[in-house]
């Protein structure tokens, strides 16, 4: 079982998305963090499909490449599985159980809500605290995921010569990183409801936090790959050429009105739809602030466009805003990829739990 509880200092945060492997190493002096190592290496197409690893060897090779690129010497890592790959449930247990009794009782309870045989899942738990209604009970968060979701990530790290210490959940890693962006939020993030829309290559993940605690996750198929494919189709480029042109520019004059603007409109609509799903399933009356993250958040002016379209105060995630950088980290690289590094930040912060 490798999930929420095991912690060890000096961890690399390695985030495996559908498009890239992202690596981050942090240090801490007093209350300030410093970026010691940083790297982003693109993944081959279809190595990860809808956040499921399809090609472990390809992932391992990219992890090896990003470690070399970053120059890090660390060998212990924290990785994460998607929230959609995890079954979470809070159960209440007597607070006088021994550790062995608690584990046995959790396995009995888990067998009731997990739709797979227990020998096919990785199972772990974290004590949340005393039950609000009954002080004789403890609330315990139980999480389960199919073993291959965990084992494929561990195997990919091993191929790169790394040892996995923590397998987290992306939504919890994001919650861990949330304080890094709080000083740019209304009321410093306290007592407000914040939605973080992480728009990656193929998936958009909406995470909602209220008063710094994660309360909701939803994933939907939409991402920057659609823009890349439209550039490819419209201008007769290869997929790689289209991806490069999207980043560095040089496309014809009709790119903005005919390709990029419709994509921005579709992006805003997708985020708006995800927010409506949340509000329809929640007692929350609204979203106080929206944070855009992921590769698509680097589109120039996208926060203003989304804010005007959805009428919600909107900012771009930058977890590095108050961090210093080591001499081997290039500021331009951190700046270019900052919005896509929230999960990696949350994982790297496990070094300081």
- Is the predicted pLDDT of residue 6 greater than 80, yes or no? no
N-to-C CA span, the chain: 19
- Is the predicted pLDDT of residue 9 greater than 70, yes or no? no
Which one has a higher pLDDT value, 264 or 126?
A: 264
Phi then psi for residue 302, to 5 deg, are: -65, -30
Q: For the whole prediction, is pTM greater than 0.85? A: yes
Tell me which CATH code domain 86-147 carries. 3.30.1490.300
pLDDT digits (tens, 9 = 90+) for 230-282: 999 999 999 989 989 998 888 999 999 999 999 999 999 999 999 999 999 88
Contacts of 113 (CB under 8 A, 6+ apart): 87, 89
Please, how many CA atoms are within 13 Å of residue 12, restricted to the half-sphere of its CB? 27
> Binning pLDDT at 50, 70 and 90, where does residue 1 land?
very low
Q: How far apart are CA 306 and CA 314, in angstroms?
A: 7
Strands (E), the chain: 12-16, 20-29, 32-42, 48-49, 52-53, 76-81, 86-94, 121-130, 137-146, 163-169, 193-199, 203-210, 213-221, 289-293, 314-316, 324-325
pLDDT digits (tens, 9 = 90+) for 76-103: 999 999 999 999 889 999 999 998 899 9
Contacts of 148 (CB under 8 A, 6+ apart): none
According to the model, what pLDDT value does residue 283 have?
81
Percent pLDDT > 90 in the chain is 80
């Amino acid at each position: 079982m490798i999930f929420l509880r095991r912690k060890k200092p000096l961890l690399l945060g390695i985030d495996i998305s559908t498009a890239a492997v992202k690596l981050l190493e942090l240090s801490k002096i007093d209350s300030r963090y410093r970026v010691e190592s940083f790297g982003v290496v693109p993944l081959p197409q279809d190595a990860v499909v809808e956040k499921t690893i399809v090609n472990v060897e390809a992932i391992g090779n990219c992890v090896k490449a990003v470690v070399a690129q970053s120059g890090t010497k660390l060998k212990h890592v924290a990785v994460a599985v998607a929230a959609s790959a995890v079954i979470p449930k809070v159960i209440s247990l007597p607070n006088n159980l021994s550790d062995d009794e608690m584990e046995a009782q959790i396995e009995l309870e888990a067998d009731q809500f997990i739709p797979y045989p227990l020998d096919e899942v990785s199972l772990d738990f974290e004590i949340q605290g005393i039950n609000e209604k009954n002080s004789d009970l403890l609330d315990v968060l139980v999480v389960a995921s199919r073993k291959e979701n965990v084992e494929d990530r561990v195997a990919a790290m091993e191929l790169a010569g790394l040892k996995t210490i923590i397998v987290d959940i992306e939504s919890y890693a994001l919650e861990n990183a949330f304080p890094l962006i709080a000083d740019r939020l209304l009321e410093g993030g306290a007592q407000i409801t914040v939605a973080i829309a992480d728009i990656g290559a193929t998936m958009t993940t909406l995470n909602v936090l209220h008063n710094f605690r994660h309360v909701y996750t939803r994933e939907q198929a939409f991402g920057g790959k659609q823009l890349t494919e439209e550039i490819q189709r419209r201008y007769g480029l290869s997929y790689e050429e289209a991806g490069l042109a999207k980043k560095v520019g040089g496309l014809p004059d009709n790119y903005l009105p005919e390709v990029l603007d419709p994509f921005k409109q579709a992006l805003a609509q997708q985020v708006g739809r995800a927010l409506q799903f949340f509000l329809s399933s929640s007692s929350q009356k609204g979203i106080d602030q929206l944070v855009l993250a992921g590769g698509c958040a680097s589109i120039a002016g996208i926060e203003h466009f989304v804010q005007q379209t959805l009428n919600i105060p909107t900012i771009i995630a930058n977890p590095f805003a108050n961090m210093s950088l080591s001499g081997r980290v290039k500021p331009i690289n951190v700046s270019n990829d900052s919005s896509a590094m929230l999960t990696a930040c949350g994982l790297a912060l496990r070094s300081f739990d």
